[in-house]
């Protein structure tokens, strides 16, 4: 049976990877994909280049906050994977309202339409940043939400609204909370593509504060596999953390990037820390492993080298985007 799948934000970094995977040789032949994307500064139709013209892909250029449009599109869908968001923490410190509009208002618009249509499941793609920052241990899905940036607060709000629609109205909502992703086609304002593109140009990279902030990194392939596990086998009303199990300080990460780009620490400039910068993230991803059999497959060293190679080989993709990147890394 064919499944009609609405993918919001499918022209962004992770959403486009998801669409290219579903429509690729190892994808799902039974899925008809409709991408709804506003093509914000982070959205790029070129990210869907490899599947352009695919008979099972339709692209709609539009805003998830546009209720009449969303209702019209949703009337012909069975399932939703909701990626569309304002996603850059630094931008949320400069203009939080845009994050509330898209991440909170846009999600509610989608949920209202999904409820009317009887969508099942509605997968809300969220982030581990909703948990805040922790000194030791790892967050399970039962951890209270203590978001610190406007970005994280807007994603936490969206998660709570989605769960409320499940509890109040029985909509089959499933939430994924993933750690930091890396891979090809990531907009060059985020830490890894920003640093890689600067290093490839022989420029210095700006490292926040003391560089000892700790993050977990996951290849986008592994995130996409996790989302598919949740879409196909997850439970309604359930939250699933997704993580790479690769705890690294930013300094350690930069070390790997310098090596992969053939540069050294002379290329690093320490800059003032980001306001309210979360010190440490760590997700406990044992639920998705136990219940859905999902575990990361991409080794961090191999994945980073492949990512650097992709940016080296795809200058024509990232050079035009650099004028748009935010003043700091993310």
The residues that are catalytic are: 128-129, 151
What is the tally of helices (H) and strands (E) in the chain?
12, 12
Closer of 155 and 231 to ligand NAD (Cβ) = 155
Q: Which of 192, 179, 191 is nearest to 311 (CA)?
A: 192
According to CB under 6 A, which one of 85, 111, 192, 199 is a site residue for ligand NAD?
Answer: 85
Contact by Cβ (8 Å): 240, 287: yes
Q: Which of 219, 205, 186, 202 is nearest to 255 (CA)?
A: 205
Length of the chain: 330
According to CB under 6 A, which one of 59, 83, 195, 281 is a site residue for ligand NAD?
Answer: 83
Taking the complex as a whole, the smallest distance from the CB of residue 179 to ligand NAD amounts, in Å, to 7
Closer of 147 and 263 to ligand NAD (Cβ) = 147
Binding mask 31-60 for ligand NAD (x = CB under 6 A): ------xxxx-xx-----------------
Closer of 38 and 254 to ligand NAD (Cβ) = 38
243 touching ligand NAD, by CB under 6 A? no
Q: Which stretch binds ligand NAD (CB under 6 A): 79-87, 108-116, 132-140, 273-281?
A: 79-87
Please name the helix (run of DSSP H) or strand (run of DSSP E) that holds residue 42, with its range, or none.
none
Residues from 86 through 115 that contact ligand NAD (CB under 6 A): 86-87, 102, 106
Size of the site for ligand NAD (CB under 6 A): 30
Q: Which of 112, 78, 34 is nearest to 232 (CA)?
A: 78
Taking the complex as a whole, the smallest distance from the CB of residue 202 to ligand NAD amounts, in Å, to 26
Taking the complex as a whole, the smallest distance from the CB of residue 329 to ligand NAD amounts, in Å, to 13
Residues 294, 295, 299, 303, Cα dihedral to 10°: 30
Taking the complex as a whole, the smallest distance from the CB of residue 330 to ligand NAD amounts, in Å, to 9
176 CB-side CA count, 13 A: 28
Q: Residue 121: is the preceding peptide bond cis (ω within 30°)?
A: yes
Q: Which of 150, 266, 135, 138 is nearest to 212 (CA)?
A: 135
Contact by Cβ (8 Å): 149, 276: yes
Residues from 173 through 202 that contact ligand NAD (CB under 6 A): 178, 180-181, 187
329 touching ligand NAD, by CB under 6 A? no
Residues at the contact surface with ligand NAD, assessed by CB under 6 A: 8-9, 11-15, 37-40, 42-43, 63-65, 83-87, 102, 106, 125, 127, 155, 178, 180-181, 187
């Amino acid at each position: 049976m064919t499944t009609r799948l609405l993918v919001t934000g499918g022209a962004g970094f992770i959403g486009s990877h998801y669409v290219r995977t579903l429509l690729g040789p190892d994808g799902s032949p039974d899925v008809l994909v409709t991408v709804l994307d506003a093509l914000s500064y982070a959205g790029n139709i070129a990210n869907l280049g490899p599947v352009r013209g695919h008979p099972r892909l339709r692209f709609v250029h539009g805003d998830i906050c546009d209720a009449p449009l969303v209702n019209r599109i949703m009337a012909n869908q069975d399932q939703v994977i909701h990626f569309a968001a304002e996603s850059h923490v630094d931008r949320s410190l400069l203009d939080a309202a845009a994050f509330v509009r898209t991440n909170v208002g846009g999600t509610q618009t989608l949920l209202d339409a999904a409820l009317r249509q009887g969508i099942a499941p509605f997968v809300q793609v969220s982030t581990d940043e909703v948990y805040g920052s922790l000194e030791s241990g790892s967050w399970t899905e039962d951890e209270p939400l203590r978001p610190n940036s406007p970005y994280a607060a807007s994603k936490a709000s969206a998660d709570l609204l989605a769960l409320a629609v499940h509890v109040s109205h029985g909509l089959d909502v499933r939430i994924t909370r993933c750690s930091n992703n890396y891979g090809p086609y990531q907009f060059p304002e985020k830490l890894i593509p920003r640093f890689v593109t600067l290093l490839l140009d022989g420029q210095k990279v700006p490292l926040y504060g003391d560089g000892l902030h700790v993050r977990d990194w996951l290849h986008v392939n592994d995130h996409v596999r996790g989302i598919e596990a949740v879409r196909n086998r997850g439970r309604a009303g359930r939250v699933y953390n997704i993580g790479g199990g690769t705890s690294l300080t930013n300094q350690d990460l930069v070390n790997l990037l310098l090596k992969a780009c053939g540069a050294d620490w002379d290329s690093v400039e320490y800059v003032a820390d980001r306001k309210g910068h979360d010190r440490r993230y760590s997700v406990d991803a044992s639920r998705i492993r136990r219940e859905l059999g999902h575990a990361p497959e991409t080794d961090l060293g191999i994945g980073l080298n492949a990512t650097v190679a992709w940016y080296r080989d795809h200058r024509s993709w990232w050079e035009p985007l650099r004028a748009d990147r935010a003043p700091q890394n993310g």
